[in-house]
Amino acid sequence: MANSADEVPALDRYRRNAERLGARFLGLSSEYVLRSVATFIPTEPAHILDVGAGSGRDALWFARHGHNVTAVEPVEEMSDQAEGLPGSEKVEWISDHLPLLEHLKDRAGRYDFCLLSGVWHHVPDVHRSTALSTLVKLLGSGGYLAMSLRLGSDTDGKTNFDIDIEDTIALAERVGLLLRHRARTQSNQPANIAAGVEWEWLVFEKRAGNAT
């Protein structure tokens, strides 16, 4: 199984365009981006995992709300942009990537909420089942996984893989997740709005008694 960052096709694009993309992502508000899954975000201090955290907009926001945050991002040029921003001193950054998240192997059951925002279309179909198994292991029983699925044409230079929503739900259910919520939102970026890109947000709960 490929798990070298060199083999993840989207990463090179993020490396080359980190400054532009990172600034664009930091320019959005987490309240707005996460509006359709807000009711699932813990209100009391919790352990939160942000995978594919980019330049850290949401990881920093969670930290400023008192959560204990682990941010995973494979592209240093992206994660470096969070340095010195409010909340950054409270975020643990780990350089790693799906499908395996090797560096988090000893953290089974630790997280109450896992965010995968804008990442799923970069994970090739062949790795998606493994990626979901990895995430479900990291969640505690009753924990939530919130993920956004990019729907629409590849405006980003052929680094995106197609997503079938029903296939994703079926895969997730197979690894012990229960679908709790789904919502369709428009893109947050003008070029993608013009191209008709939409996002499907899915929230899954880890089934109680699922020890995987």
Ligand X SMILES: C[S@@+](CC[C@H](N)C(=O)[O-])C[C@H]1O[C@@H](n2cnc3c(N)ncnc32)[C@H](O)[C@@H]1O
Nearest distance from C-beta of residue 179 to ligand X, angstroms: 21
Do 150 and 184 meet the contact criterion of CB atoms below 8 Å apart?
no
Q: Does 192 bind ligand X (CB under 6 A)?
A: no
Q: Which is nearer to ligand X, 178 or 191 (CB)?
A: 191
Q: Which of 34, 54, 136, 139 binds ligand X (CB under 6 A)?
A: 54
Q: Does 199 bind ligand X (CB under 6 A)?
A: no
Q: Which of 71, 114, 118, 176 binds ligand X (CB under 6 A)?
A: 118
> DSSP code of 124?
-
Q: How far apart are CA 150 and CA 142, in angstroms?
A: 26
Tokens of residue 23, six digits: 């600034």
Q: Three-class SS of residue 188?
A: coil
Q: Does 25 bind ligand X (CB under 6 A)?
A: yes
Q: Which amino acid is at 178?
A: L
Q: Which of 46, 49, 75, 197 binds ligand X (CB under 6 A)?
A: 75
Q: Three-class SS of residue 57?
A: helix
Q: Three-class SS of residue 30?
A: helix
Q: Does 135 bind ligand X (CB under 6 A)?
A: no
Which parts of this chain interact with ligand X (CB under 6 A)?
Answer: 8, 10-11, 14, 25, 51-54, 57, 73-75, 78, 97-98, 117-119, 122-123
